[in-house]
């Protein structure tokens, strides 16, 4: 019992805003810039994205990957992560659609970008099916793992609530910043999920990577710049989503988006997602 609970006690220190706050403590230039943006003293969305937010995402998700460490997961632990990530995947498209409708009057161009993402995630007629359907079917066909109807744990419910509140905000800047965080972490999360499903495959069927044919296609669809599903030349599906949202922050004045609101939305979602991963890791370590 001590081996299961000892690591979790250290993880307890990383709950809430801790991962983001640790990053800001270690990077005082970014902390100062974010404070200046929130106070309305900085107006460069390009500097905010490229010098501060994107590096923050990269560093925090490197830390998350190290905390999860797919190489040491048991089959039960890997299954738990796969199921809970699947819960968010099945609701992601409806949040995108809601957000697009919410901002339609205030920022039609942002609404169009969110709807483009919705059609990719939710399945545009005549093109690639809904990504959740591809993912859940791939798990079933490759690994015999059914996630359909999986009940979310409280940490996942919390994340869904945060996204729903963000997607229905009356402030378009909140939605722009919140969705930049959601899309900004997508590549790192997809790569981590691939490691977890490979670990589950190795433990249960001794199959990984391209041997898991449907899952391999799913991951290529999201991460491969040359995949047929990519609709923006030179960018994978996920990279195009990131750049599509970053454009609105870089040129926030052009789209009449309030930069402090944008940063508020970003921090709300990034903190929630980092907290979610830590909570899932704590719960997973309690499994055999």
Looking at residue 231, which CATH number applies to its domain?
Answer: 1.20.910.10
The secondary structure of residue 170, as a DSSP letter, is: S
The mean pLDDT value for 197-213 works out to 90
Task: State which residues form the domain around 84.
Answer: 2-284
Q: Which residues in 227-265 are b (16+ Cβ under 10 Å) and which e?
A: eebbeeeeebbbbbbbebbbbbbbebeebebbbbbbbbb
For residues 178 and 242, the model is more confident at: 178
In the chain, % helix, strand, coil (3-state, to 5) comes to 75, 0, 25
Distances (CA, A) of 40 to 32, 34, 45, 265: 12, 10, 12, 15
Distance CA 281, CA 18 (A): 15
The residue behind tokens 């990053």 is 23
pLDDT at 148 over 80: yes
Higher pLDDT, 276 or 243: 276
- Lookup: tokens for 286: 């309690």
Q: What pLDDT, on a 0 to 100 scale, did the predictor assign at position 58?
A: 95
Q: Does the pLDDT value for residue 230 go beyond 60?
A: no
> Quick one: average pLDDT of 183-200?
94
Average pLDDT estimate for 88-102: 93
Given a cut of 60, is residue 233 above it in pLDDT?
A: no
pTM for this predicted structure: 0.89
Q: Which two tokens stand for residue 46?
A: 């390009």
pLDDT, greater one: 77 or 122: 77
Taking the CB of residue 209, how many other CB atoms lie within 10 A of it?
A: 14
Query: For position 121, what pLDDT does the model report?
Result: 75
* pLDDT tens figures, 17-69: 899 999 999 999 999 999 999 999 988 899 999 999 999 999 999 999 999 99
**pLDDT for 47:** 95
With a cut of 90, say whether residue 1 has pLDDT above it: no
d(Cα 95, Cα 114) in Å, to the nearest integer?
Answer: 10
Q: What value does the mean pLDDT take over residues 147-154?
A: 95
Q: Any bridge partners for residue 232, and if so which?
A: 235
* Structure-model confidence comparison of residues 31 and 5, the more confident one: 31
Neighbours of 157 (CB within 10 A): 12
223 pLDDT band, cuts 50/70/90, is confident
Please give the Cα distance from 170 to 74 (Å, whole number).
43
Chain centroid offset of residue 80 CA: 17
| Residue in the structure block whose two tokens are 């490759």 | 142
Average pLDDT, the chain: 89
Per-residue pLDDT at 96 exceeds 80: yes
* 149-176 mean pLDDT: 96
Mean pLDDT of 61-81: 96
Query: Confidence class of residue 13 from pLDDT cuts 50, 70 and 90?
Result: confident
pLDDT at residue 6 above 80? Answer: no
Model pLDDT, residue 15:
84
Does residue 189 register a pLDDT over 70?
A: yes
Q: Which of 88-97, 258-267, 269-278 has the lowest mean pLDDT?
A: 88-97
The tally of domains found in the chain comes to 1
Higher pLDDT among residues 164 and 243, named by residue: 164
pLDDT at residue 149 greater than cutoff 50: yes
């Amino acid at each position: 019992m001590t081996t299961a609970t000892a690591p979790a006690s250290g993880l307890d220190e990383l709950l809430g805003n801790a991962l983001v706050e640790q990053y800001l403590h270690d990077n005082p230039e970014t902390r100062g810039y974010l404070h200046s943006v929130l106070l309305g003293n900085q107006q460069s969305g390009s500097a905010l994205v490229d010098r501060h937010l994107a590096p923050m995402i990269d560093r925090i998700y490197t830390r998350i990957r190290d905390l999860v460490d797919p190489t040491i997961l048991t089959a039960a632990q890997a299954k738990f992560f796969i199921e809970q990530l699947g819960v968010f995947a099945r609701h992601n498209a409806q949040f995108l659609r809601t957000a697009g409708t919410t901002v339609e009057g205030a920022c039609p161009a942002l609404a169009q970008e969110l709807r483009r993402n919705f059609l990719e995630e939710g399945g545009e007629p005549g093109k690639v099916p809904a990504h959740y359907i591809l993912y859940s079917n791939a798990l079933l066909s490759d690994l015999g793992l059914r996630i359909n109807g999986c009940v979310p744990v409280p940490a996942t419910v919390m994340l869904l609530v945060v996204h729903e509140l963000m997607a229905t905000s009356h402030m378009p800047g909140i939605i722009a910043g919140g969705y930049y965080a959601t899309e900004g972490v997508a590549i790192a999360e997809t790569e981590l999920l691939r490691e977890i499903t490979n670990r589950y495959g190795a433990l249960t069927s001794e199959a990984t990577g391209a041997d898991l044919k449907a899952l391999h296609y799913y991951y290529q669809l999201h991460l491969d710049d040359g995949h047929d599903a990519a609709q923006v030349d030179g960018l994978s599906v996920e990279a195009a989503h990131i750049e599509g949202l970053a454009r609105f922050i870089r040129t926030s004045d052009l789209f009449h988006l309030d930069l402090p609101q944008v940063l508020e939305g970003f921090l709300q979602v990034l903190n929630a997602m980092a907290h979610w991963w830590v909570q899932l890791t704590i719960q997973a370590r309690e499994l055999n």
